[in-house]
């Protein structure tokens, strides 16, 4: 039997096997191979389709709470709102949505710990952040939301967002079109994009349970008992080497700020790519849950070879060194340097790279796609990295 990963010990299934098993016989929508589920139009117009997506900032909210308690700075909660919105927005970019988007937010709080002042910051930031995204060229509107006082369920705070969009079917990007011979262009997850005001660590909003416990010092175990599941073995809780206030080497952020860096949106880059090359794109993959193995879920009978990844950003080196997670696990949990992949023919790759770099987001060819050596419909992935070669396959709906 395969050894449980640290992430699994912490009560998180990175590949969501149980979810995929429960859903395996369910309808897959109009484009079963697309990055997000695409449904028939809500009003029955066969030229249109509906996309209804949900995601949240997850346990990153606990970290915002800790940083707020350490510093008194309410603005850490704003990043959580960005996380919840962008985890949705950048997913639907992958099926071709470039605006015409409504969102609804759900804030579940422990009222004893998350007061009215914090709530006001969260609610207002949803509105402000939608205005900012719209101004950047991605029209999005906050439709409404729900706030719940559920301290018996929620230890601190959970911020979730649902997104609805209605677009023409002709605008959909179906990752089923990804094919052998295609090139994978990666867009860097860390750095400072032209539309960002500060260096982004690249961490986004997945893997945070591993990142928090593996990186932060055990002194937080007694200081913040409200920030972890007290049914988990104490030796796995905040077992790392670092304090929130320590500098994150190689950046101008503290360790806490690095872990809490808000999820970058790629929407300005992708919207511009759509303006010029939309019909030429074979697929776009958003490397969130599953990290660099996300691609295995898409295309048929393909072998993904990623052999020129970005240099690993400081935040991921810190998490690995402190947590003791294997590099193999790190690549399965985190994006490790690029969170967005554009799958396209080789002759267009330089155009894509140029657009990204105009937004000060480094981009490059990080790999390519071959036909799978197996004759079945399995997908394979080879990660050829500075830290070793790692191979993964998708067999019977399961990444191994």
By CB under 8 A, what part of segment 350-389 binds its own copies? none
Instruction: Give dist(CA 289, CA 12) in Å, integer.
Output: 11
Which part of the chain contacts its own copies (CB under 8 A), choosing from 19-27, 169-177, 195-203, 320-328? 19-27
Shortest Å, Cβ 155 to its own copies: 6
Judged by CB, which is closer to its own copies: 8, or 384? 8
Question: With contacts defined by CB under 8 A, how many residues of the chain interact with its own copies?
Answer: 76
Q: What is the DSSP letter of 3?
A: P
Which part of the chain contacts its own copies (CB under 8 A), choosing from 221-229, 307-315, 344-352, 362-370? 221-229
Judged by CB, which is closer to its own copies: 200, or 323? 323
Shortest Å, Cβ 59 to its own copies: 5
Are 284 and 94 contacting, i.e. CB atoms less than 8 angstroms apart?
A: yes
Shortest Å, Cβ 134 to its own copies: 14
Chosen residue from 137, 145, 191, 250 binding its own copies by CB under 8 A: 145
Are 134 and 195 contacting, i.e. CB atoms less than 8 angstroms apart?
A: no
Judged by CB, which is closer to its own copies: 105, or 182? 105
Count Cα atoms within 13 angstroms, Cβ side, for 13: 9
Judged by CB, which is closer to its own copies: 15, or 190? 15
- Residues 57 to 76: which contact its own copies by CB under 8 A? 58-59, 61-62
Q: What is the DSSP letter of 386?
A: T
- Residues 108 to 137: which contact its own copies by CB under 8 A? 108, 110-113, 115-116, 119-120, 123-124, 127
Q: Is 32 in the site for its own copies (CB under 8 A)?
A: no
Shortest Å, Cβ 188 to its own copies: 26
Q: Is 233 in the site for its own copies (CB under 8 A)?
A: no
Judged by CB, which is closer to its own copies: 143, or 400? 143
Give the closest residue to 180 by CA, choosing from 367, 332, 363: 367
Give the closest residue to 65 by CA, choosing from 56, 57, 74: 74
Is the dihedral angle over the CA atoms 252, 333, 59, 362 positive or is it negative?
positive
Which part of the chain contacts its own copies (CB under 8 A), choosing from 192-200, 226-234, 313-321, 355-363? 226-234
Q: Which residues have a Cβ under 8 Å from the Cβ of 63 and sit 6 or more positions away?
A: 208, 212, 256, 259, 260
Q: Is 149 in the site for its own copies (CB under 8 A)?
A: yes
The residue with tokens 């295609």 is: 182
Shortest Å, Cβ 166 to its own copies: 5
Judged by CB, which is closer to its own copies: 60, or 364? 60
Torsion of CA 254, 199, 215, 159, to 10 degrees: 100
The residue with tokens 């019909």 is: 279
- Residues 191 to 220: which contact its own copies by CB under 8 A? 209, 212
Shortest Å, Cβ 212 to its own copies: 8
Shortest Å, Cβ 53 to its own copies: 7
Q: Which residues have a Cβ under 8 Å from the Cβ of 166 and sit 6 or more positions away?
A: 41, 42, 48, 49, 50, 51, 100
Chosen residue from 6, 31, 34, 53 binding its own copies by CB under 8 A: 53
Q: What is the DSSP letter of 248?
A: -
- Residues 151 to 170: which contact its own copies by CB under 8 A? 151-158, 160, 162, 164-166
Instruction: Give dist(CA 60, CA 77) in Å, integer.
Output: 10
Q: Is 148 in the site for its own copies (CB under 8 A)?
A: yes
Shortest Å, Cβ 144 to its own copies: 5
Which part of the chain contacts its own copies (CB under 8 A), choosing from 192-200, 222-230, 290-298, 314-322? 222-230
| Burial per residue of 355-379, b for 16 or more beta-carbon CB atoms within 10 angstroms, e otherwise | bbbebebbbbbbbbbeebeeeeebb
Instruction: Give dist(CA 395, CA 400) in Å, integer.
Output: 7
Give the closest residue to 158 by CA, choosing from 289, 54, 61, 260: 61
Per DSSP, the residues of 4-18 read PPHHHHTT--TT-HH
Q: Is 33 in the site for its own copies (CB under 8 A)?
A: no
Shortest Å, Cβ 168 to its own copies: 10
């Amino acid at each position: 039997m395969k050894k449980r990963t640290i992430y699994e010990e912490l009560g998180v299934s990175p590949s969501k096997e149980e979810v995929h098993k429960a859903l395996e016989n369910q309808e897959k929508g109009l484009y079963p191979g697309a990055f997000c589920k695409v449904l028939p139009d809500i009003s029955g117009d066969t030229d249109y389709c509906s996309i209804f997506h949900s995601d949240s900032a997850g346990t990153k909210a606990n970290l915002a709470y800790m940083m707020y308690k350490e510093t008194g700075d309410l603005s850490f909660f704003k990043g959580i709102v960005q996380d919840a919105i962008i985890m949705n927005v950048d997913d639907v970019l992958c099926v071709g949505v470039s605006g015409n988007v409504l969102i609804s937010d759900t804030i579940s709080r422990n009222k004893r710990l998350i007061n009215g002042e914090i709530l006001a910051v969260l609610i207002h930031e949803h509105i402000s952040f939608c205005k900012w995204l719209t101004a950047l060229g991605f029209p999005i509107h906050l439709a409404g939301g729900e706030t719940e006082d559920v301290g018996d369920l929620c230890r601190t705070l959970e911020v979730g967002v649902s997104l609805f969009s209605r677009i023409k079917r002709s605008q959909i990007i179906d990752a089923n079109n990804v094919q052998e011979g295609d090139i994978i262009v990666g867009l860097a997850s860390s750095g400072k994009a032209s539309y960002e005001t500060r260096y982004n660590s690249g961490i986004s909003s997945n893997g945070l349970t591993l990142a928090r416990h593996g990186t932060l010092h055990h002194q937080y175990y007694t200081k913040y008992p409200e920030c972890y599941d007290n049914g988990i073995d104490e030796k796995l809780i905040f077992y790392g080497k670092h304090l929130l206030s320590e500098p994150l080497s190689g950046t101008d952020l503290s360790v806490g700020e690095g872990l809490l860096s808000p999820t970058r949106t790629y929407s300005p880059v992708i919207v511009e790519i759509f303006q010029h090359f939309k019909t030429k794109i074979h697929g776009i993959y958003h490397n969130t849950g599953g990290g660099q193995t996300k691609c295995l879920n898409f295309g048929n009978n393909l072998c993904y070879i990623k052999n020129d990844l970005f240099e690993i950003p400081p935040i991921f080196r810190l998490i690995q060194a402190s947590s003791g997670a294997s590099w193999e696990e790190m690549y399965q949990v985190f994006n490790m340097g690029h969170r967005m992949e554009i799958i396209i023919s080789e002759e267009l790759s330089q155009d894509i790279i140029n657009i990204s770099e105009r937004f000060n987001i480094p981009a490059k060819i990080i790999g390519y796609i071959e036909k799978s050596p197996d004759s079945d419909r399995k997908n394979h992935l080879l990660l050829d990295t500075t830290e070793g070669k790692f191979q993964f396959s998708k067999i019977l709906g399961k990444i191994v």
